[in-house]
């Protein structure tokens, strides 16, 4: 896949607000099938688009890519013979043995690309206009939802739509919804937001009005755990009274939440890394250790495998599978092979 195709794929994933990792080969020692500069995108379901090496390298890079999407931190992966100083791994380097490359070495940098946090503001009051400016300045993509909203009144907004329903599909764990309709269909917008994957849902209101909204939402059929996600009144308690100060307090709370919970895209065991988040969006693949070469192998359709003495074993490539099939005892002495995670 050419560089321009990688760039186009990445742009498409960003527009779809879908997390992915970019893997780039930065160094290699022959023999390897990859070259410096080769790249691949790894999507949140573990799909690979591009080329960063063959069947030995790809499962490891997919595993590390999904891990970077959970942690939000990139990493440098080294696949090859053990490091020159046994037991010593340079800081920031993830090292994996790769005897399948017959002495070859690959070093691949894996960089997570998470969606830009999104501020979805419902209403057309002065506080919404100010919120749009402050949230955009803080690095959020701003969407304003209100039938009366005019794009010229909120130039900081990337999108202006009549109602929250129009963007409901984009409410993901990196979305921060603020409802500031001041009693005009509050519950309708909150019901949509609280049933979504939005990571933060807040209401600009008095404490009394907030409690009334919670009771009304329960009456609409929302579950108590859904209603419990509502942050109301919105914002940090700064004693703010003016629209500008209220907006600052709300964006400050959004930033606080974002910094303390990013990233929240893990789907391990079907839940997110953070307990206050809805179900996450990243696939978690089972893995095993190849008993021949020691590689960590992603278990999936097409992974070479066989059963020996009642134990399933998985392999990085047909060559390792064939060696084990011919002489299984040679590879099982003291080996942790076949273990899965």
In which domain, by residue range, is 34 found?
Answer: 3-113
pLDDT bin (cut points 50, 70, 90) of residue 110 is very high
Residue 337 lies in a domain: no
In the block, residue with structure tokens 């100083």? 85
In a domain, 248, yes or no: yes
Q: How many helices (H) and strands (E) does the chain have?
A: 9, 16
Token pair 């359709």: residue: 301
> What is the model's pTM?
0.68
Give 259's DSSP letter: H
Distance CA 104, CA 54 (A): 12
Domain end, chosen from 113, 137, 169, is at 113
Residues 90 and 125 in one domain: no
Same domain, 133 and 213: yes
Residue 154 lies in a domain: yes
pLDDT band, residue 269 (cuts 50/70/90): very low
Q: Are residues 105 and 122 in the same domain?
A: no
- Give domain status of residue 272, yes or no: no
DSSP secondary structure code for residue 84 in this structure: S
Shared domain check, 123 and 38: no
What was the pLDDT predicted at 26?
93
Estimate to the nearest angstrom the gap between the alpha carbon of 97 and the chain centroid: 27
- 101 and 196 co-located in one domain: no
Average model confidence (pLDDT) across the chain? 82
pLDDT value at position 273? 38
> If pLDDT is split at 50, 70 and 90, which confidence band does 272 have?
very low
Domain presence at residue 229: yes
| Strands (E) located in 57-139 | 75-80, 93-97, 105-113, 118-122
How far is Cα 336 from Cα 333, in angstroms, rounded to an integer? 9
Same domain, 107 and 126: no
Q: Is 65 a residue whose pLDDT tops 60?
A: yes
Q: Are 107 and 35 in contact (CB under 8 A)?
A: no
Same domain, 129 and 103: no
On whether residue 273 sits in a domain, the answer given is: no
Domain co-membership, 148 together with 220: yes
Would you state the structure tokens that stand for residue 222, as one six-digit string? 């929302």
Is a pLDDT exceeding 80 seen at residue 22?
yes
Number of domains, the chain? 3
Alpha-carbon distances, residue 29 vs 53, 82, 92, 96, 106 (angstroms): 12, 13, 20, 15, 7
């Amino acid at each position: 896949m050419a560089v321009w195709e990688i760039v186009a794929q990445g742009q498409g994933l960003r527009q779809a607000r879908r997390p992915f990792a970019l893997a780039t080969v930065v160094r290699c020692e022959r023999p390897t099938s990859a070259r410096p500069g080769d790249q691949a995108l790894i999507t949140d379901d573990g799909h690979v688009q591009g080329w960063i090496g063959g069947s030995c390298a790809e499962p490891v890079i997919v595993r590390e890519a999904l891990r970077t999407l959970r942690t939000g931190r990139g990493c440098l992966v080294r696949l090859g013979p053990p490091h020159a100083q046994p037991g010593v791994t340079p800081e920031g380097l993830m090292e994996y043995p790769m005897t399948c490359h017959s002495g070859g070495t690959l070093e691949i940098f894996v960089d997570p690309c998470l969606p830009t946090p999104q501020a979805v503001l419902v209403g057309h009051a002065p506080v919404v206009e100010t919120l749009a400016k402050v949230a955009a300045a803080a690095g959020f993509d701003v969407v304003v939802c209100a039938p009366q909203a005019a794009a010229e009144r909120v130039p900081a907004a990337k999108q202006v739509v009549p109602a929250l329903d129009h963007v409901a599909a984009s409410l993901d764990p990196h979305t921060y919804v603020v409802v500031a309709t001041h009693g005009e269909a509050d519950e309708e917008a909150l019901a949509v937001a609280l049933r979504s994957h939005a990571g933060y849902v807040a209401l600009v209101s008095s404490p009394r009005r907030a409690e009334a909204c919670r009771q009304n939402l329960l009456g609409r059929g929302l579950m108590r755990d859904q209603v419990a996600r509502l942050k109301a009144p919105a914002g940090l308690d700064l004693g703010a009274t003016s629209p500008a100060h209220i907006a600052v307090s709300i964006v400050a709370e959004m930033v606080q939440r974002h910094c303390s919970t990013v990233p929240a895209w893990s789907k391990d065991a079907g839940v997110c890394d953070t307990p206050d988040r809805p179900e996450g969006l990243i696939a978690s693949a089972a893995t095993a250790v190849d008993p021949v070469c020691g590689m960590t192998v992603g278990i999936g359709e097409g992974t070479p495998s066989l059963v020996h003495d009642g134990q399933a074993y998985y392999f990085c490539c047909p060559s390792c599978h064939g060696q084990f099939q011919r002489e299984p005892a040679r590879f099982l002495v003291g080996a942790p092979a076949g273990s899965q995670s």
